[in-house]
Amino acid sequence: MQELTHFINGKRVPGSSGRFGDVFNPATGEVQAKVPMASAGETAAAIEAAAAAQPAWGATNPQRRARVMMEMVRLINRDMDKLAEALSREHGKTLPDARGDVQRGLEVIEFCIGAPHLLKGEFTDGAGPGIDMYSMRQPLGVVGIIMPFNFPAMMPLWHIGPALACGNAAVLKPSERDPSVPLMLAELFMEAGLPEGVLQVVNGDKEAVDTILDSEIIQGISFVGSTPVAQYIYSRAAASGKRAQCFGGAKNHMIIMPDADMDQAADALVGAGYGAAGERCMAVSVAVPVGEETADRLIEKLVPRIEKLRVAPYTAGEDVDFGPVVTREAQQRILRLIDRGVEEGAKLVVDNRDFKLQGYENGFFVGPHLFDHVTPEMEIYKTEIFGPVLSTVRAGSYEEALKLAMDHEYGNGTAIFTRDGDTARDFAHRVNIGMVGINVPIPVPLAYHSFGGWKKSMFGDLNQHGPDSFRFYTRTKTVTARWPSGLKEGGEFHFKAMD
């Protein structure tokens, strides 16, 4: 059985704690690798090595750092299929979805090539008599990056790229569920020209995380995961004076107005609700049709589309719609929540609770499910299910639909499908959610805009990638300078007459 490693000072290093976690093949349920769980001592040593490497990297001019990003773009494109296959093998995503995971991370690395421009400061000439003022953006130093399982390529690249481009050293703690791709990315960064020690990858669990949070060396924390853990990490990081951006859960609503193109809306819901088995923080998990007639038309369109979805392992071909969820525990949790929805009175229109895939009976597969007549009091509405489950909440009016999205504790993403520009504009301006789609179901911004939610979906004041990432990973230093006057006149070689 394969035994994975950490990545310290430019090379793979075996774990020494004696503790290991299982890395599963989600399609078969079999353990395919062991990943070391770092001790506090191992983690602290990696942090100290990063601190030793950071000053020289921070002093490297931004253009040279950007050239590492430029080469990284080439290397990721070169190894795209290799990265995607490793990602699918551990996470369970289809190959097209895995390539998309890598591609969206790659786009942020492309954005980081513009670091020299993004790191420019400001200058004021003549702020006072003989006084100039200017500001500089300087790296934080060493940052901790703690990433989730659902995007093992995209999420690390979203954070590693800007952190390194700004001149920081980074200690990455990837998910222990699918750790191979982050290790592969670290090797590619070295091949791209990153100095040894500037990027460390430490695999582990809460012991490693708490060591990162409590380290006096670490100056900033980036986290993506569930809301309870995001709150924990944000509060613990803030208590020790660290800058922190922590991104949590989501319950994304898609409002369907009576004038919407119902085929377009149904196609969008199926892709956004069931893609990647629903394991996306931007997945649409709540459909909100406005009016009973709209709801009936929508359900009529959805059912045949959902029943045609092909659920299979990534090895079954490019036409697989989605694969298994990541662990047995995730599978069982999703099925428990589906049972709970039935108990609470929701109508299970598409029921695949007995779904079994021939030859893969021990895999972590969950078939697609569709609920109708869900109400806000139900657990399946309040909870992020993180699986292939779409809930339909019928709204009597546009205002009622808007209120549903605004009253939910999560505020990551939302969408509205309509042909009416006035309604769309009103929705975009009023809704208290960080990312809004208009006839776009998953409104993930491109790399040169920033990504982040509101309410309990995000803790901190600066978002992921785009301009916010360069603000997060740097401190601003402002200099006020005045030079004595008269020196430019040069030396005098005679006695000056007394006045």
Q: Give DSSP secondary structure letters for 293-326.
A: HHHHHHHHHHHHHHHT--B--GGG-TT--B---S
> Looking at the DSSP assignment, which residues form a beta bridge with residue 390?
370
Q: Using alpha carbons, select from 280, 298, 276 the residue that is nearest to residue 289.
A: 298
Tell me the per-residue pLDDT of 305-331, one tens digit each, with 9 for 90 and over. Answer: 999 999 999 999 999 999 999 999 999
Whole-angstrom Cα distance, residue 295 to residue 348? 15
CA pair distance 138, 471, nearest whole angstrom: 10
Residue 492 has pLDDT above 70, yes or no: no
Distance from C-alpha of 16 to C-alpha of 243, rounded to nearest angstrom? 30
- Average the pLDDT over 445-453 and give the result: 93
pLDDT, tens digit, 9 for 90 and up, residues 457-486: 999 999 999 999 999 999 999 999 998 876
Q: How far apart are CA 143 and CA 248, in angstroms?
A: 19
Mean pLDDT in residue range 88-98: 97
Residues with catalytic function: 281
Instruction: Say yes or no to pLDDT of 498 above 60.
Output: no
pLDDT tens per residue across span 265-298: 999 999 999 999 999 999 999 999 999 999 999 9
Contact 347, 371 (CB under 8 A): yes
The SS3 call for residue 177 is coil
In order of start, what are the domains of the chain with their CATH numbers? 2-248+457-481 (3.40.605.10), 252-438 (3.40.309.10)
At residue 490 the predicted structure's pLDDT band, cuts being 50, 70 and 90, is low
User: Nearest CA to 87 among 67, 103, 73?
Assistant: 103
Q: Given 3-state DSSP classes, what are the helix, strand and coil percentages for the chain, each rounded to the nearest 5?
A: 40, 25, 35
pLDDT number for residue 1:
85
pLDDT value of position 485:
74
Q: What is the mean pLDDT of residues 223-232?
A: 96
The arithmetic mean of pLDDT across residues 245-256, rounded, is: 97
- Distances in whole angstroms, Cα of residue 165 to Cα of each of 60, 112, 198, 248: 10, 6, 11, 25
Percent of the chain with pLDDT strictly greater than 90: 95
Residue pLDDT, tens place only, 20-53:
999 999 999 999 999 999 999 999 999 999 999 9
The token duo for 204 is: 């582990």
pLDDT of 496 reads 58
Compute the mean pLDDT over every residue in the chain, rounded to the nearest whole number: 96
Looking at residue 433, what DSSP letter applies?
Answer: -
Report residue 44 as tokens.
């602290």
- Residue range 347-376: average pLDDT? 97
In this structure, the chain runs to a length of 499
Phi first, then psi, for residue 423 (nearest 5°) are -65, -45
Tens of pLDDT, residues 3-13: 999 999 999 99
Pairing status of strand 6-8 against strand 11-13: antiparallel
Residue with tokens 């299979």: 312
Angle at Cα 485 formed by Cα 480 and Cα 489, nearest 5°? 145
Residue 495: what pLDDT?
A: 55
Give the residue-averaged pLDDT of 123-134: 92
Q: Would you place residue 346 in the very low, low, confident or very high pLDDT band (cuts 50, 70, 90)?
A: very high
Q: Provide mean pLDDT across the span 402-415.
A: 97
Per-residue confidence band for 406, with pLDDT thresholds at 50, 70 and 90: very high
What is the predicted pLDDT for the residue at 460? 94
- Arithmetic mean of pLDDT, 178-193: 98
Q: What percent of the chain has pLDDT over 70?
A: 97
Q: What's the whole-number mean pLDDT along residues 101-129?
A: 95
Buried b (16+ CB within 10 A) or exposed e, 254-290: bbbbbebebeebbebbbebbbbbbbbbbbbbbbbbbb
pLDDT for 233 equals 97
Q: Would you call 411 helix, strand, or coil by DSSP?
A: strand
Interhelix angle 206-214/227-239, nearest 10 degrees = 30
pLDDT > 60? residue 18: yes
